[in-house]
Every structure is written in structure tokens, then in C-alpha cells.
Amino acid sequence: MRTIFQLLLLIWLLFLSNQTNATQFEASHLKSVVQNAIQRIKDVDKTKWAFELHSIENEEGEVTDYTAAFNGALPEGQKWQLLTKDKKPATDKQKRAFIKQRNKDKKTFSVKLDQLITIDSLQLLDSTNEAITASFDVNIPKLGDDAIGKLKGTLVVSPKNHLLKQITITNLAEFSPMAMTNIEKFKMVLTFTEVSGQVLPINAEMTMRGTFAGFMELNETSKDSYIKYKLLE
């Protein structure tokens, strides 16, 4: 009986050891796949691409939209051109304002994926031959210190070609990105695709609801769609 008990205990310990090793391999493999997927996006040479961006925003019921063209081969300051504003051909004044705003947004709101996704916090949620789904802690400095620990992200990545298909970020609790502002609901969805072997964005969507000064309602939605990709010669 004692021999059988010792054998069973040995088998159980071996099982636990294998489980630990499998978990460590799983975590290591997940981090590697996600890091490679992020690197694929970082490796895109924007000077070799042209595309159009269609953006629509709804702020408390006031809807605006525009279409702009991007040509990475052009000199800095000329890469972007506003085509339409609110479904009408853009005026010269609107074109100048657009370029000024894009330069401002680039300096103020730029967030890199390897900063957005806290690699060491990755947790596997689901895994198939076609897609891996994982959760991660989110870091968006522009949302303020109060948002730390109140945002959670999930991502879907292909284990075969390391294509980052989608990133979704939602809030777990209310947070205040600035004085007198309270965000009750926050959701951001980024989707990507592969074009000519390069990983490029398809859509960027955001929903944000809350209050300002305790009584003014904040209700904003936006969607950016990237279309007509063309690889430049």
C-alpha cells in the first residue's frame, strides 16, 4: 500500500511539474507572438504607402466627417491633404486647419502599441490554430493617472503569421482624465489587416460617455476608416 501511495504521489508531482512547465511555455510563447505582431506593425515603412482616411465624429449629436488622402512619398508637411469636409469639397481654409490639427494631434495624442500593451501582463483567454485571444493591462498616459488600473484590454492575434487582428480597450470603472470630468464608459477598438505582406490599420473606433462639471453630458463617438491602400513604387 505504501509503495502504491508513493507511486501515486510521484505521478501527481510529475503532473504538477508538467503543468507548471506548460504554463511557463504558454506565457513565453504568448509574449513572443504578441511582440512579433507589434514589431510587424512598427516595421511598416509609411513612406511607401498611400491611402485615404474617412473619419466621422459625433459629439453630443453634432456630426462632422471628412475624407483625407495620405501619400508617404511626399515631403513632411505635404503628406496629408484634406479632400472633403462634411461631404463637400474642402476649402483652402479647411485644408490649412486640417494640417494644423493633425500636427497638433501627432504631438499630443500619439500612443505606441508597445506602450499601450503591457507585455508582462498578458493573460491567455483562448487559443486555436487560427487565433489567440489574450487580455492585458492598458497604459494610456493621456487619460490621466486616475485611469491607471481602470482600463482593460483584449487582443486577437494570429499565431501563424503574427498578424495582430484586433485590440479592444474598455474601462472597468469610472475615471477622471482631467479636472471636473468623469468618464463612465470608454471603449476603443482597433482593427488591422495584411496588405502586400504589411500589417496596416483598417478601423479605429472610440466611444466615450460621462459628465463634465457634474451636470453637462459627454457623449462622443468616432470612427476612422483606412481605405484604398496603394503600395508606392
Q: What number is the average pLDDT over the span 14-34?
A: 64
- 2 pLDDT band, cuts 50/70/90, is low
What type of residue sits at position 44?
V
Q: Are 134 and 152 in contact (CB under 8 A)?
A: no
pLDDT digits (tens, 9 = 90+) for 92-151: 999 999 988 887 766 444 567 878 899 999 999 999 989 999 999 998 887 888 888 899
Mean pLDDT of all residues belonging to the chain: 85
Q: Does pLDDT of 210 surpass 60?
A: yes
Q: What number is the average pLDDT over the span 169-182?
A: 88
What type of residue sits at position 134?
A
Q: Are 151 and 177 in contact (CB under 8 A)?
A: no
Q: What is the DSSP string of 50-68?
A: EEEEEEEEEETTEEEEEEE
Q: What number is the average pLDDT over the span 7-15?
A: 46
Residue 191 grid cell: 482593427
Q: Which residue has the cell 486555436?
A: 128
What type of residue sits at position 48?
K
In sequence order, the β-bridge partners of residue 186 are: 208
Q: What is the pTM of this model?
A: 0.84
